[in-house]
C-alpha cells in the first residue's frame, strides 16, 4: 500500500511522457533530460509567480538548468547534423 501511494505521488509530481521520436539510446536519454528540465522550469515558474522566489533567483536557477541540459546534449553527442531533416 505504501509503495502504491509513493508511486502514485511520484507519477503526479514527476510525470513522464512516451517518446515518439527516432529511437536511439542517446535520443531517449536526452528526451528524459528534456522532460525533467521542463518540469523543473514549471516548478520554478510557479514558485516565482507565488512570490516564493525572486525573479532573479528564478532566472538564475533556470539558467543553471539550461546549462545542464546543453551539457547533456553535448555529452550524448546530439547535434542538428544527427537529426533527420524534418526535425531540424
Q: Rounded CA gap, 37 and 53, in Å?
A: 18
The confidence score (pLDDT) of residue 19 equals 82
- Domain range holding 69? 41-78
The confidence score (pLDDT) of residue 23 equals 87
15 is a domain residue: no
The reported pTM is: 0.75
The confidence score (pLDDT) of residue 56 equals 98
By CB neighbour count within 10 A (0-12 exposed, 13-18 middle, 19+ buried), where does 25 fall?
exposed
Task: Tally the domains of the chain.
Answer: 1
The confidence score (pLDDT) of residue 43 equals 96
19 is a domain residue: no
* Tens digit of each residue's pLDDT (9 = 90 or more) over 68-87: 999 999 999 997 665 555 55
Question: In this predicted structure, which of 2-11, 27-36, 38-47 has the lowest mean pLDDT?
Answer: 2-11
Between helix 25-49 and helix 55-75 the angle, nearest 10°, is: 180
85 is a domain residue: no
Amino acid at each position: 500500500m505504501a509503495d502504491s501511494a509513493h508511486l502514485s505521488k511520484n507519477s503526479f509530481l514527476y510525470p513522464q511522457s512516451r517518446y515518439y521520436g527516432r529511437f536511439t539510446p542517446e535520443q531517449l536519454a536526452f528526451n528524459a533530460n528534456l522532460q525533467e528540465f521542463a518540469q523543473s522550469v514549471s516548478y520554478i515558474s510557479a514558485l516565482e509567480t507565488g512570490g516564493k522566489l525572486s525573479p532573479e533567483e528564478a532566472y538564475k536557477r533556470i539558467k543553471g538548468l539550461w546549462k545542464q541540459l546543453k551539457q547533456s546534449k553535448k555529452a550524448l553527442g546530439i547535434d542538428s547534423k544527427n537529426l533527420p531533416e524534418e526535425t531540424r
